[in-house]
Amino acid sequence: MIVMVTLLWLWSSILFFRNPKSEKIRWASCIGFFGGFGGIGVLLGKGLNRPEWILFLDGFFSSVGHYFTPYGMLIFGLVYSDFIKINKTKKIYKLLLLVPIIIMYSLFQVYPEFKVNYVILSIWVVPYVVIANILLIYSAWRETRPAIKKRKVLTCLLVVPMFSFALVTNIILEAFGIKEVWKYNPWMISVQFLVFMYFAIKYGILGVQIRVEKERRDSTMKAVSSGTGLLNHTIKNEIAKIDLLVNQLKENIPPDKDSSEKLDLVLNSTNHVLELSTRIQSKLDIINLKESEFSLIKSVDSAISLLKPFLNLHSDINIIRQYEIDATIFGDAAQIQETFINIIKNAIEAMDGHGVILIKTYKARRKVYIDFTDTGKGIEKDKLSLVLDPFYSTKKQQVNYGLGLTYCYNVFQKHGGDISIKSRVNQGTTFTLSLPTKRIIDIKINQQSNSKSIGEKSLWTKLD
């Protein structure tokens, strides 16, 4: 039993400390902690001939394990599936779902020895756990984005069997008089923990891998920004000395065409180094937002228009616009548009002169998403997590510094959004950009969402 408690609390701690701001992660952690309390109750033993403080702790831990674990499962299902979208309504549900727990505490003894009628307990626990499982499965089934759907399916494969096994062994069999089958729970928990770690390392589940990559990238960004700041300061000081000395040489040496040309070449080189230094720093510096209201699809369309000269060189590339929604965004219009330009330009370059770029806007889970999908050469799996890192580039041109997508990532992080990437070699790449609720002022849905171009004004209706 001590193995079960250790694994449950370790699992919960890994989840919680990776992303404590996420309500989904917090409730997932709570399930593990509540289940662990039940295990502690078993470890404290049985009988009334124990010290008073142990009797009290036993009653408290056992009751928390029996009552709050199924409650945590159902709340996790509600939160994870976004079944209830309004925060006020969600809080009301959380309070109402506590009613059976309050009734159980009023009906059954907790101290000096925890006692409960499992038949009565199963009346509300079974629906709680079954509904939680249904919500998780439904959330995975209705998801349309392949990368997110995959993570939700993996979550179901991990969580639903664990919920079901705990329900059967801890509640249902006890209600039928089949005692202490829960002793096999540590084996199930051990297997589920190993599965969780495998999924987390290989694919990312419940946000664990994503957070690891994000923390690594953010740490890299801080280190690179600090390093380039110091490097640029040194470079500018030394280049200023060289520039001063070369100009003095030009004034003091006798006029000579060959010498003058060589000195001019030195000055051109110093100017190039300064320009490169400034460009790198500008991409890595802290971004200051100049915020205003702007239309999301107008920003995308404007980015496409600005790339027309570039597109004219690649006449076999088609851009399909699938705008399911238009949103009025509060943010830095110029920098978000520049992000769109960078991503579209990368997509064009990835397709070697021919292919299709699909740009899709849509709303899901109270966020606005913009997908940029190309039919290009794709990105190898082992390189996918590096694409947004500073100075990393799959391009071979000498003029590329690997900073365009880093800049895009910085812009959306500054807006409270995010960028995710999924790709398959020789099948294409999708960049998914998201903006949070706090950036969305107004949303209109397109009644002809499958159209390849923006609908007329009459096709747009406001989404409350």
Write the DSSP string, 225-256: HHHHHHHHHHHHHHHHHHHHHHHHHHHHSPP-
pLDDT confidence bin for 398, thresholds 50/70/90: very low
- 163 plus 19 within the same structural domain: yes
Whether residue 303 is found in the same domain as residue 441: yes
Considering the domain architecture, whether residues 71 and 183 belong to the same structural domain is answered as yes
- Whether 108 and 166 have beta carbons less than 8 Å apart is answered as no
226 lies in the same domain as 183? no
Q: Which residue has the tokens 């969402």?
A: 449
Enter the tokens of residue 385: 């997590």
pLDDT of the residue at 207: 47
Q: Are 229 and 221 spatial neighbours (Cβ–Cβ below 8 Å)?
A: no
Does residue 189 share a domain with residue 130?
yes
Domain that holds residue 276: 214-284
Same domain, 347 and 274: no
Residues 189 and 221 in one domain: no
Cα gap 379→387, rounded to integer Å: 9
Lowest mean pLDDT of 128-132, 208-212, 240-244, name the range.
Answer: 208-212
Domain end, chosen from 140, 172, 206, is at 206
Is 30 a residue whose pLDDT tops 70? yes
Whether residues 326 and 439 share a domain: the answer is yes
Q: Which two tokens stand for residue 311?
A: 């597109």
User: To 10 degrees, what angle do helices 2-18 and 185-202 make?
Assistant: 30
Query: Among 206, 235, 268, where does a domain finish?
Result: 206
Residues 277 and 166 in one domain: no
101 and 198 part of one domain: yes
Q: What count of residues does the chain have?
A: 464
Dist. CA 37–CA 427, nearest whole Å: 49
**Model-wide pTM > 0.75:** no
**pLDDT tens, position by position, 337-359:** 888 988 998 888 888 778 899 99
Phi, psi dihedral angles at 422 (to 5 degrees): -130, 145
Same domain (yes/no): 171, 72: yes
Last-in-domain residue among 242, 264, 284? 284
In tens, the pLDDT along 129-148 reads: 999 999 999 988 888 766 67
The SS3 of residue 38 is helix
User: For the chain, how many structural domains are there in total?
Assistant: 3
Q: What share of the chain has pLDDT > 90, as a percent? A: 20
Q: Domain containing 431 — which CATH number? A: 3.30.565.10
Does residue 263 sit in the same domain as residue 313? no
Chain-centre distance of CA 110, in angstroms?
Answer: 41
